[in-house]
Structure 1
Amino acid sequence: MKQLSGLDVTLQDQLLLNKEQQNMDYLMELESDALLQNFTQEAGRYQNFGNKKLKHGGWEDPSCQLRGHFLGHWLSAAAIHYDETGNQALLGKANEIVHELRLCQLDNGGEWAASIPEKYFHWIAIKKQVWAPHYNVHKTFMGLLDMYLYAKNEEALTIAIDFSKWFLRYTDNRTREQLDDILDFETGGMLEIWARLYDITKDSMYLTLIERYDRHRLFDPLLAGEDVLTNMHANTTIPEIIGCAAVYEATKITRYRDIVLAYWKCAVTDRGYFVTGGQTNGEIWTPKHRQASRLGERNQEHCSVYNMIRLANILFTWTGDVSYLNYIEKNLYNGILAQAYWKEDLPNGQISSYPSEGLLTYFLPMRAGSRKGWASKTQDFFCCHGSVVQANAAHNQYLYYQDGTNLYAAQYFDSTARFSIGNTNVTLIQKQDSLSGSFHISSTSSAEQAIHENTQRYPIQPDCMAICMRIEMDSPCADFSLKLRIPDWACARTDSYAGNPAVFQDVCFELNGKQMPVDAKDGFLTIQRNWQNGDELRLILPLCITAVAADDDPDLVAFRFGPIALAGLCSEERSLHTHGHELQTLLLHDNEREWGNWKRTFRTRYQETGIRFIPIYDIGYEPYQVYFPVIRD
């Protein structure tokens, strides 16, 4: 199975497009000389290095041992943006940066292309403490390979190949124990780099590097079913497991596939996650099913969210298991969209005492009364600074997949997918019906007020997602299966991660205006037919409030509306009283409609003092609470 992306998928969803545009603007805003400052310093080139205006701080400061890591993320994001949009200005800037990296590499002797000195690697070999040099150079390798794979930059591949020769010599003549000691220092995704280079070049040198970078001290106990993750740094291991996935795909050695599956079982299936879909506190995995005891100010590190989405995506292409798509959806709404590129939306005339924008937040706090901590544009550059620009580079990923004559509609955002069935080119156009009956904000004239039946049919919040699809082809017909994901939040037994068969309620499906039976199996509604050009589908998914208790405390509850985690606007911890009512009935719609938009805002009822709830991705600088103690009276 393959994921459709790049030019095969065009995004029309305004929320996601706004994030992408802000991301692209940010990439263009950063000066090339400042991005390159640590590489040119290491190579002795010093281009404009003394210009303080261009200097980046935080983890990019020349005194930081991780200096230069961000440029690799930048190159990856630029390449992925280009693959989707064809933005020539961004490509030109990225190509110039790659060329400067090649000049740095040549000035370093022809192999070394990093922003840090080679001695850092000799230090970890003798167990002298230094901050993750492999993690650092992995980002450079990653950016170079993405520039080759997405932007067809041959010079980037040349740099990566020549750079990898240094690591072959570095690992020569070391015992397995010595290599394992080196790998205990965070290696990032080096294993993925060697696998991708082997897949590109078929050079056996990379098979040697794969064997040397096989982290037996982690992988072997995982295969034995041991819990090697509790209280361990999360994002040290996730890229290593993505590396195992890449090795399996490049070599078909089944041991690496088994490692990936064992990791997911240990990290997710047997451990659970927060209502957001994310995990971690203080960058470490929580103990299994112990969310309540780990609600702090440093939950859900963005890097771990992004990399676990990447891992879930890989596993879906291997297995077709819908649970991975449900996981991606939760983490997209409540992680990627909640932790970057926030903008204030105040009514006319209102002024806030806080900034009107937020670039990115390293963590997503879960402690009651916490606030998001927003980073600066040029003076932080911590790890999540890098994963944020990658995560927002192409939101057209993870939406569609193809397996032969099966097309999977995995996520529901306005978009267009193009694929081929035999000699027939097929276009699937997806658009959500707002069910608002008003075109006030989308018409060419703000004065236009067309009368529409939906204004009477849905006088109040319809509490459903209406997905419309149209099939267009360059031939009269084509035979294939369209598989529509039925999310876990739309089924009777919500939040059942195990993937057991579920009875779906209130899911409706129409084909060319005719009501059809909903026979959903394994989380998909499959429509197998000889499709005609112009066929139209309509899928209705019920949206409702779901109360989600922490695994280790049934009286500590959070709320979701469909896949969207809700946050209560509270400056200190508040409790909720049930007064004999079901938990999900404690929230009801609040200010449910403005102009042509149904809003996802709520308020409590049956409480002495009310609380407003909004999507966690809409939280900016306000204090908030996610999990609420429940008093069942």
Structure 2
Amino acid sequence: MKIKHLLFLFLGPVSVMAQMQPFSLHEVKLTQGIFKNAQDIDLKYILALNPDKLLAPYLIDAGLPLKAERYGNWESSGLDGHIGGHYLSALAMMYASTNDTELKKRLDYMVAELARCQAKNGNGYVGGIPQGKVFWERIHKGDIDGSGFGLNNTWVPLYNIHKLFAGLRDAYQYAGNEQAKQVLIGLGDWFIELIKPLSEEQIQQILRTEHGGINETFADLYIITKEQKYLDTAQKLSHRAVLNPLIEKQDKLTGLHANTQIPKVIGFEKIGVLTNNLAWSGAAQYFWQNVSQSRSVAFGGNSVREHFNPVNDFSKMLASNQGPETCNSFNMLRLSKALFLDKNDVSYLDFYERILYNHILSSQHPEKGGFVYFTPIRPNHYRVYSQPETSMWCCVGSGIENHTKYGELIYSHSADNIFVNLFIPSALNWEAKGIRLVQNTAFPYQNQSELTVSSSTPKQFAINIRYPAWAQNFEVLVNGHKYNSNTRPVSYISLNRKWKSGDKITIVFTSSTKLENLPDGSNWVAFLHGPIVLAAKTSTKDLTGIFADDSRMGHETKGPLYPIDKAFALVDDSENFVSKLQPLGHLQFRLDSLTLQPFFEIHEARYQMYFPAFTQKAYAEQQLKTKQKETELLAIEAQTIDKVNCGEQQSEVDHLYKGEKSSSGYDDEQFWRATRAYFSYQLQNSNRAGKCLEISMLDDFNINNTEIYINEALAQSVSIVNKLIRIEGINSELVNIKIISKNNTNSPRFHQFRLMKK
């Protein structure tokens, strides 16, 4: 994804030094359109969740009687309590956006219950982490073992508690709940005492495990209280293994779990601003530039199977049913917003807008509700939607937040001037200045927007209209008179005059359709009309599991992969593929047998977003290669009952990873896990269809140093050929695999465990 990055440009008498500020969600209301619909659908989902069920893990840990049994799925299998933190944020932001009193009632109730748990614990702690008191006591004593997502065999505990930190912060900042502020301060003070005995090396060891943006929330505590200890802790909780290469402008991201890194970087940016540390802020800018320009696909998402893929090879993303994760885009929006406000650089908004329309908006079912985890770019595949009673994934937590805060950057302001950043139907009420601005638009279906000014008295100030990178023939009219400007795209047109009630600004532009290649420069292309990604519905067959059940892996598609060589291809020696599109109106285009439409409109269907583009000669040659590769891949998948990709976070979590003295990594474009003690997984063998286990490695296997146990028995019928182990005679519904290293020696690096029919 390439979006031209230019310095922020003010035109007219607006000062370039005026610091950009956001309006509060209370000051901006959505009035109609696709975003207002998404907000309304999200509100229904939020109200369908039961606060007492979300609070149950916290009551359990505090030893208080339950008012309702906790939810299942991830809320009962190790990440207990994480949705509760997200729920606080969602309630607070949706209340700020809508003034719905039921939301405020629920928020106040949840905060009061959390305060009750905190009081019962007696030391400032409140959390829902399983056996939390035992876990944190081990950490306090310096007993630390783990990396990636498992810390002392507990699933991302710092990531989990970060959600509560963030939820309490949002309850205070967006909804004015003073009790949330006190609970947050108590929790922060408890955490500072928790890590006080730990060395810097031990803290950095803890930070190897996914920990969300816990550094950012301590920076927020500093902003709230102005107490230096919180800013010091924020710096202490910043992961140097990620920060230092970014400061040096070194790309060390390939193979890393994507959403583990983005929240850290948001923290680096905030701490950099608070401490005037340009190196830290520069690290955040470098990261944003790298991810947005080299690692993001057309709809703004990034990662394959949750990890950053090589910038020069997106083939694995094209092949996978686990495309970009919505949580990544949730956090890239937050980073883009922070950098826009900090740097006064309008070009961050082009990427922000791209994600907003194409990934975030599309990640919620627009009628039935439900949130998407993975958005594959594999041709002819589909997505899965969460359900309130069954699905408690991370992308549900960020999902209920995503659609509460669409008003956050439609407008922004300096001391006296307004900036119109997005074309979304909305009303701005700048009460402090006595100014109201109403925006009516049907964008992206119409290339026009109208702004109407209301003011208590005539006032001199500037209204600045963003001129997007994708817009053409951009014109601005004030009360019907054209405003002449030589403004370039990726800037603002500044209208500085004495405004009075009833003044109207009309914005008219055109947008064209273009092709955008994958960032690796391969021949796979997507159609964009302005900032809108166009895609085609290709089928409504084999949508197995499209509305998720409560299974551990319910967020993944279960339907078959359709062969990539059967995907619709663009073939034309002139390579002028855009000229083949026939406009049908309402952002729909005919492409031979397909109809292209905005991707955010496509739901409950298989789709194609990326198309291979060929000359006639190249098409014949490439199709043969693709077919051979696809035949091999699909033959293996057809024989596979279950598999674990070692070293890949969600794959290991879904298969109940446990381990000690275990490490994971990424070498030669392959993930791996090794151990000096043990690690284990559990595979599902539905109907006992799997009969053998194939284990691939990056190293040779030495039977004298490493043992393999299947269901607690030393594996028999083992054959080893070319770093591939094959174990016959599997015959159980659950297959528990345990790798044990003898004598504290390093085991081989294991790449994959695959349960096969034969």
Q: Residue 178 in 1 paired to residue 202 in 2?
A: yes
3-state DSSP of counterpart to 1:507? strand
Q: Aligned partners of 1:199 and 1:56: how far apart in 2?
A: 34
CA contact (8 A) 1:2 1:401 kept: yes
Aligned length: 558
Alignment of 1:470-485 (within 5 A): 470-476=452-458, 478-485=459-466
Between structures 1 and 2, the one with greater strand share: 2
Q: Which moved more, 1:132-141 or 1:401-410?
A: 401-410
Matched residues in 1 for 2:283 and 2:614: separation? 43
Report the more deviating stretch, 70-79 or 12-21: 12-21
Which whole-Å CA distance do the structure 1 matches of 2:24 and 2:576 have between them? 42
CA contact (8 A) 1:401 1:408 kept: yes
Please say if residues 334 and 565 of structure 1, whose CA atoms lie closer than 8 Å, have aligned partners that are also in contact: yes
Equivalent in the alignment of 1:76: 89
Residue type matched to 1:556 in 2? W
Distance 1:156 1:404 in 2: 30
Alignment partner, residue 60 of structure 1: 75
One-letter amino acid matched to 1:311: L
Equivalent residues of 1:196, 1:250 under 8 A apart: no
- Identify the residue that residue 387 of structure 2 maps to in structure 1: 376
SS at match of 1:520: coil
1:287 to 2:255 alignment: no
What pairs up with 1:261-280 in 2 under 5 angstroms?
Answer: 261-269=285-293, 271-280=294-303
Corresponding position of 2:425: 414
Partner deviation per Cα, 1:422-456 (whole Å, 9 max, x = no partner):
x852222211268xxxxxxxxxxxxxxxxxxxxxx
Partner of 1:533: 501
1:131-150 equivalence runs, <5 A: 131-150=155-174
Q: Which residue of 2 aligns with 1:449?
A: none
**Residue 299 (structure 1) aligns with:** 323
Task: Give the structure 2 partner of residue 448 of structure 1.
Answer: none
Q: Does 1:108 align with 2:121?
A: yes
Alignment of 1:358-377 (within 5 A): 358-377=369-388
- Corresponding position: 1:573 with 2:554: no
Aligned counterpart, 1:583? 577
Q: Which residue of 2 aligns with 1:157?
A: 181
Distance in 2, Cα, partners of 1:552 & 1:255: 29
CA distance in 2, matches of 1:43, 1:484: 52
User: In the alignment, what sits opposite 2:545?
Assistant: none
Q: How does 1:378-417 map to 2 (within 5 A)?
A: 378-417=389-428
Q: Report the equivalent of 1:118.
A: 133
Mapped contact 2:295–2:308 kept (Cα < 8 A): no
Q: Secondary structure at the match of 2:189?
A: helix
CA contact (8 A) 1:556 1:627 kept: yes
Distance 2:224 2:388 in 1: 35
Looking at structure 1, the residues matched to 41 and 446 of structure 2 have their Cα atoms a distance apart, in angstroms, of 29
Shift of 1:257: 1.8
Q: State how far apart, in whole Å, the 1-side matches of 2:442 and 2:538 are.
A: 33
1:470-527 Cα offsets, whole Å, 9 max, x none, are 2221112x2222221122221xxxxxxxxxxxxxx42222221123324224432222
Report the AA paired with residue 186 of structure 1.
E
Q: TM-score, normalised by structure 2?
A: 0.71
Identical positions, percent: 28
Quote the residue 1:469 is aligned against: 451
Give the letter for the 1:524 counterpart.
Answer: Y
Code of the aligned partner of 2:473: D
Q: Distance in 1 between matches of 2:519 and 2:162?
A: 36
CA–CA distance in 2 between the matches of 1:135 and 1:612?
Answer: 42
Which amino acid in the other structure matches residue 630 of structure 1? A
Give the TM-score normalised by the residue count of structure 1: 0.84
- Distance, in Å, in 1 between the alignment partners of 2:483 and 2:411 is 23
Residues 596-611 of structure 1 mapped to structure 2, 5 A cutoff: 599-605=586-592, 610-611=593-594
**Is residue 507–residue 539 contact of structure 1 (8 Å, CA) maintained in 2?**
yes
Asked if 1 retains the 8 angstrom alpha-carbon contact of 2:575 and 2:614, the reply is: no
Q: Please tell me the residue identity of whatever aligns with 2:502.
A: G
- Equivalent residues in 2 for 1:177-576 (5 A)? 177-269=201-293, 271-295=294-318, 296-343=320-367, 357-419=368-430, 424-432=433-441, 465-476=447-458, 478-490=459-471, 505-521=472-488, 522-571=490-539, 572-576=566-570
Could you report, residue by residue, the CA deviation over 1:203-223 in whole angstroms, capped at 9, with x for unpaired residues? 232133123212112111110
Question: Is contact 1:470-1:536 (8 Å) kept?
Answer: yes
1:320-369 per-residue CA deviation (whole Å, 9 max, x = no partner) reads 222211111110111111111332xxxxxxxxxxxxx3501101110011
Distance of aligned partners of 1:424 and 1:67 in 2 relative to their CA distance in 1, 3 Å threshold: closer
Q: Structure 2: which amino acid aligns with 1:412?
A: F
Q: What residue ranges of structure 2 are gaps of 5+ in the alignment?
A: 1-19, 147-151, 540-565, 617-758
Deviations 1:352-398 (A, max 9, x none): xxxxx350110111001111111221222110000011111121111
**SS, match of residue 434 in structure 2:** strand
Question: Which of the numbers 90, 100, 103 marks the counterpart of 1:87?
Answer: 100
Matched, 1:632 2:619: no
1:516–1:161 CA distance, 2 compared to 1 (3 A): closer
Contact 2:247 2:280 in 1 (8 A): no
CA contact (8 A) 2:55 2:84 kept: yes
Quick one: distance in 1 between partners of 2:494 and 2:32?
Answer: 24
Bigger-Rg structure (1/2) = 2
* Separation in 2, partners of 1:278, 1:380: 22
The Cα shift of 1:80 comes to 0.8
CA 1:207–1:291 in 2, change beyond 3 Å: closer, same or farther? same
- Give 5+ residue unaligned stretches, structure 1: 344-356, 435-461, 491-504, 593-598
